[in-house]
Amino acid sequence: MLKKDLIHKTPVSKTIGIENINDGKFGAVLSRAGVGKTSFLVQIALTQLLNNEKILHISLDDPMEKINVRYKEGYTNLIDYIGYVDPQKALRLWQDIKPNKVGISYTESTFDTQKIRDYLKSFKKADLTLPSIMIIDGLNFDRDVTNILEELELLNREFSIFTWFSMKSHRDEELCANGFPIQLENNKDKFDKAIFLQPVEDKIEAIILKDGDRTHQKFKLNPATMMIVEDD
């Protein structure tokens, strides 16, 4: 019951939709620096973990120790959002889902899709369940990443793994005519889903840029927790 309650309250359920998290090949969470890309990606991953799925989190920015703290904070924010939960129940659930998250830290110079392929192959060799989604946080979309995306498309076909990316935009760059930051515009044909986070007054506005016919829907998030702010 607690799992279902948490899944229902995750910001992902309102913005992307639980059934849409891994429908396609690639998704992107976009914003300028410091707005909440990683925190939102963590909520995507937590939603999958609560659905008894495995996830692979790859960070090019932070060591895994820091990413692990983000997951614990994200889980705590979700627990607090639904109201009072018995602390022992919350702890038991966390200990139950936590082992299904695996993570790897790279730098921009050491990031290698072949290493990821070898890692995923190791799951198959050991007859282990493969991750349903992979998060790649910190890939630099200001440069040409065509080859990397093509290689990751092969991983999608080979391992049926959906990849969510953080994509950093910049404050001084104007949006393209269709409302896309240039980083997405340059790669738009590769992406099935994209959500843009931008500060608006004391909230974060989450705008659906790509997701079938759900484009330009907007949602309000609490910047401290990334939880949905319900309309009064």
Q: What is the pLDDT of residues 131-146, one digit of tens each?
A: 999 999 999 999 999 9
**Higher pLDDT among residues 92 and 85, named by residue:** 92
Give CA–CA dist 37/110, Å, rounded.
Answer: 22
pTM above 0.85, yes or no: yes
Which of 165, 187, 162, 184 is CA-nearest to residue 173? 184
Domains in the chain: ranges and CATH: 2-221 (3.40.50.300)
**Residue 14 predicted with pLDDT over 90:** no
CA distance 150 to 168: 20
Each residue of 211-228: pLDDT tens digit? 876 777 899 999 999 999
Residues 168, 136: Cα–Cα separation, whole Å: 12
223 and 205 Cβ atoms separated by less than 8 Å: no
> pLDDT tens digit string along 193-211?
999 999 999 999 999 998 8
Q: Are 167 and 141 in contact (CB under 8 A)?
A: yes
Alpha helices in 57-203 (DSSP H): 64-81, 87-97, 113-125, 146-159, 182-185
